[in-house]
Amino acid sequence: MKRILIVLVALVAMVAFVSGVVAQDKKTETPAAAPKAEKPKAPKPMKFSGTVAAYEAGKMIKIKAKDKEMAFDVTADTKVKGEVKEGVKVTVTYKKEGDKMIATAISVPAPKKPKTEKK
């Protein structure tokens, strides 16, 4: 009877150790269980439309709307579509970097063509 009891205790101990090792291996093998690193979200581009109050190519542009005036830094990477000059309506796409607003694109809408009357 003692022999059976000793063998039974040995089997239980062996099963306990083996199951602990198997459980530990499963945790390390599954990469899905690890939390995924979140990618930083790119800032959403913002737009502002109005009339050009001041413009220095490659340096800055100041836009005035009805009740608001904003200034943007213009860089070498800023895409300019159309001829920008004072008094022209433009749309500026920009991003914020700290306390600065960087213009990423400046677009001047094409002038509307007058409608011709049909005879």
Beta carbons of 45 and 93 less than 8 angstroms apart: yes
Predicted TM-score of the model (pTM): 0.57
Domain locations along the chain: 2-33, 46-107
pLDDT in tens, 86-111: 999 999 999 998 899 999 999 998 77
pLDDT in tens, 26-37: 555 555 555 666
How, if at all, do strands 100-107 and 46-56 pair? Answer: unpaired
pLDDT at position 119 is 58
What CATH number has the domain spanning 46-107?
A: 2.40.50.320
pLDDT in tens, 42-57: 667 899 999 999 999 8
Mean pLDDT of all residues in 62-67: 93
Distance (Å, whole) CA 80 – CA 84: 8
